[in-house]
């Protein structure tokens, strides 16, 4: 599974405005309803439920909020860069400014894990994150995410 299987230019939000974790999830849900065949309330409910199980803030300013739906046809992604970092209860207690939202079919099984692994591997690369943080536009962010995901990285 490649990043290009999950996102397109429409699913990049280069300057998300939010001041709290809950507001971030609300904004992600609003943006996601434009690219995922679900309403923002449904998406938000799934994201909040997942966060109750434990934070999706993985560290180094990155969070990967995710959830499952019974009737999605394929995995969907949305990438957002926050205008200002927010506290996300991350594992390393660092505020988050880069988020990759992942919504998958409940039946996805291994594909869900492959998608999470691909996103995690890509965003664990400090050079990739630095380039994203320094980029000017959604087009540039998309290019960075998709070119870095197709090159081979040592895990």
- Residue 154 forms part of a structural domain: no
Q: Which domain holds residue 24?
A: 3-149
Q: Is 66 a catalytic residue?
A: yes
Q: The domain spanning residue 29 has which CATH number?
A: 3.40.930.10
Q: Work out how many domains the chain is built from and give that number.
A: 1
For 28-66, letters b (16+ CB in 10 Å) and e give bbebbbebbebebebbbebbbebbeeebbbbbbbbbbbb
Looking at residue 155, what is its pLDDT?
36
pLDDT of residue 154: 38
Catalytic residue, chosen from 66, 84, 112, 153, is 66
118 within domain boundaries: yes
Instruction: Give the pLDDT of residue 34.
Output: 92
> Would residue 138 count as lying in a domain?
yes
Average pLDDT estimate for 35-39: 91
The pLDDT tens digits for 81-138 are: 999 999 999 999 999 999 999 999 998 778 888 888 899 999 999 999 999 999 999 9
User: Does the pLDDT at position 50 exceed 80?
Assistant: yes
8 within some domain: yes
């Amino acid at each position: 599974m490649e990043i290009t299987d999950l996102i397109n230019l429409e699913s990049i939000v280069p300057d998300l405005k939010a001041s709290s974790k809950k507001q971030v999830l609300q904004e992600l849900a609003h943006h996601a309803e434009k690219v995922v065949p679900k309403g923002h309330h449904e998406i938000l409910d799934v994201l909040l439920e997942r966060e109750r199980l434990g934070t999706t803030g993985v560290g180094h300013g990155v969070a990967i909020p995710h959830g499952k739906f019974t009737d999605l046809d394929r995995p969907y992604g949305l990438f957002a860069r926050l205008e200002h970092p927010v506290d996300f209860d991350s594992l390393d207690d660092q505020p988050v400014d880069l988020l990759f939202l992942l919504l998958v079919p409940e039946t996805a099984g291994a594909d869900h894990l492959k998608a999470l692994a691909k996103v995690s591997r890509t965003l664990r690369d400090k050079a990739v994150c630095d380039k994203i943080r320094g980029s000017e536009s959604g087009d540039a962010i998309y290019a960075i995410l998709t070119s870095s995901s197709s090159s081979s990285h040592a895990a």
